Structure 1
Amino acid sequence: MASQKALNPPSGECRQCWQHAYDSRAQHAHLGPREDCPACVDHMRNGHPAALIVPDERRAW
């Protein structure tokens, strides 16, 4: 089960990266030893999609 911290990233952070960082055992369970996560590698190479970034709470209104 995902930790509470993994489910609530702060504003300005990528939801996917935050979850992979704080719930990495579950997120990366399908990978073999020393195998890179394709989603993590994609974010490292191409950046974070705007749809996955938590909006700044001050700008929501």
Structure 2
Amino acid sequence: MVVTVAARETPPGECPQCWQHAHDRSIHRKLRPREDCPQCVDHMRNGHPFIVPKRESSWW
């Protein structure tokens, strides 16, 4: 399984791979029409490798 780091900073509580694949169009340009991205399919089947932790709330 290949884990990539997003080009832009991933917001707290988000998966870096999901964030990058949603916001970087160059990743899916090499795919033919109606072709699934193997990394996305693997990610959907096996889940998130890690989530960027949310910052602690400083409400009080």
TM over 0.5: yes
Stretches (4+) displaced over 3 A: none
Instruction: Report whether the alignment pairs 1:9 with 2:10.
Output: yes
Rg (Cα) greater in structure: 2
What is the alpha-carbon distance in structure 1 between the residues aligned to residue 38 and residue 55 of structure 2?
A: 30
Higher helix fraction (1 or 2): 1
List runs of 5+ in structure 2 lacking aligned partners. 1-6
Q: TM-score, normalised by structure 1?
A: 0.69
Q: TM (normalized to structure 2)?
A: 0.70
RMSD of equivalent CA atoms: 1.9
Give the fraction of aligned pairs with identical amino acids, expressed as a percent: 68
Structure 1 unaligned segments of length 5 or more: list them.
1-5
